[in-house]
Amino acid sequence: MLKSVGKDDAVQLILKLSGNECNIDCVYCYEKQREYSGIKYLSANILEKSLSSFNGRTIYVQLHGGEPLLMSKQEMKEIIETIRKFDGEYHINIQTNATLLSAEWLDFFEEFCPELELGISIDGDADCNSFRVDYNNNPTFNLVDKALRLCEERGKNVGIISVVNRNSLNKEENILDYFSRFTCIKMINFMSCIHFDDSKLEEDINHWATTSFEYVEFIKRIFNVWKRKEYYKNFFIDPIFSIIRKLHGKTAIFCHYNDSKCNNIFTLFPDGSLKSCDELNLSDSIHSPDMNLKDRFMLNKMNQLLNVCKKCDYYEVCSGGCLGIRSRYENIQDRQQYCLAKSYLIDFIAESINVKPIKSLIPEEDYE
C-alpha cells in the first residue's frame, strides 16, 4: 500500500519550470491536455519555500516542463543556486527535447551545475521521430540529432526517453543502430504511447497510438537486437534493465517497477501548488503540508489498485506498474490488457536470461 512519506524517505521532486509551455507540438503529447494554467515560470522564491519542507531528506530533483530550456539562463541560475542551498543530499537532472540545447547551455551547466544529469527526448531515427514536430509541423529531428552530436563532442553523458509510437513498430534495429552511434548515450527508457482520450476520433489517433501488446512486442524485439548486437555494452534499456533486476531480487530505479509509488513523487508548479506524480489526475493529487496526498479518494484508489496486485504472482517483479496509467485504463475498454501484456514481457525476459518464468496469467498454449 501507499504509505505516508517518512522523515527518512528519499523523494523525487519534479519542477515544472515552464508549467506545460513547450516550444514544440508533438502529435501525441498529453502534457498540454493537463488542466494547469497560470504563472509561466517557476520562481526561485517559490522553489525555496517548497524545498524547506524536504530539509534533511535526500531529494532527486528533475528540471522539467513543458520545455525547461525556455527559461532564461539567469532564471535557471537562480533555480540551481536555490537547489544548492538545500539542507540535505540532492541530485539534479534535466529532461529536455534538446531543440534548444546549445554549446552555450552546456557551458552554462558545466559552470553552474557540473553534476547535472542530462535527459533528452527523441524517439529514434528521423522516421520514428516524425511525430515530434514544431508548431509549423516541421520535423525536429535534425535539431535533436545536432544536440546529441554536441553532447558526444563534449563528452556529456545522456539518458534517452523514447516514445514507442506507431512509426517505431518493426523499426527496432534501426532505432538501436541509430542510438549506438553515440557513445554518450548510457541509458534508454522506451515509454508506451497509449491513447486514453475517448473524446478524440479513432481515425485521429490510430496513426500514432500503440496498444499495450504492440508495445510489449516492440520491447521483446528490442531485447533481441540489444542482445544479438551486444548493444548492452553501450547502454542499458528500460523496462528491460528493471525487469532483469527484479527477477534477480534487486530493486529497480524505474518507478513502474519499484515499490516507491506516487506518494513519494512531488511535482511543483510555477503557481506554488505541490502535487503528486503528474501521471495522475492533477486535481486529485494535491499534497497537504505534511507531504501526504491530501485527497484521500485518490490515495484510496491507488491502494485499491495495489491490493488487487498483491494477489498476483507477478507482483514481486512488476510492483503494480504505473498507477497513473492503470487508473486511466478505468475509462477505456480492455482495462486488463496492461497487466496481461506486462506478464508476457516479464516471462519473455525471464526465459531469455534463464530464469524460471512465472506463467500464471498466460494460457499455457501461448508458450507452445
**pLDDT for 324:** 80
Is pLDDT at 229 greater than 90 in this prediction?
yes
What pLDDT digit, counting tens, does each position of 198-219 carry? 555 455 567 888 988 999 999 9
Question: Which own/partner contact pairs does 138-141 have at CB distance under 8 Å and 24+ positions apart?
Answer: 140/24, 140/97, 140/99
Of 92, 44, 41, 46, whose CA–CA distance to 70 is shortest? 41
Contact 285, 262 (CB under 8 A): yes
Strands (E), the chain: 11-16, 58-64, 89-96, 117-121, 158-164, 185-192, 236-238, 265-268, 274-275
Q: Which residues touch 50 (CB under 8 Å, ≥6 apart)? A: 13, 268, 272, 274
Q: How confident is the model at residue 326 (pLDDT cuts 50, 70, 90)?
A: confident
Q: What is the pLDDT of residues 296-305, one digit of tens each?
A: 556 677 778 8
* Sign of the torsion formed by the C-alpha atoms of 63, 264, 7 and 117: negative
Strand partners, 95: 119
**Residue 171 pLDDT level (bands cut at 50, 70, 90):** very high
Phi, psi of 272 (to 5 degrees): 95, -5
How much is the pLDDT for 201? 46
pLDDT of 109 over the 60 cut: yes
Answer yes or no: are the C-beta atoms of 329 and 197 closer than 8 Å: no
Distances (CA, A) of 104 to 92, 110, 142, 154: 19, 10, 18, 12
pLDDT in tens, 28-60: 887 766 666 666 899 999 999 999 888 888 999
Beta bridge mates, 275: 267, 286
| Of residues 123 and 285, more confidently modeled | 123
pLDDT tops 90 at residue 155: yes
Cell numbers placing 140: 525536429
Q: Cα separation of 320 and 31, whole Å?
A: 23
Q: What is the pLDDT of residue 282?
A: 55
Q: Identify the band that residue 367 occupies on the pLDDT scale cut at 50, 70 and 90.
A: very low
Claim: this prediction has a pTM higher than 0.85:
yes
Averaged pLDDT for residues 353-366: 75
The answer on pLDDT for 368 being more than 50 is: no
3-class DSSP state for residue 174? helix
List C-alpha distances in Å: 117 to 63, 163, 165: 10, 20, 26
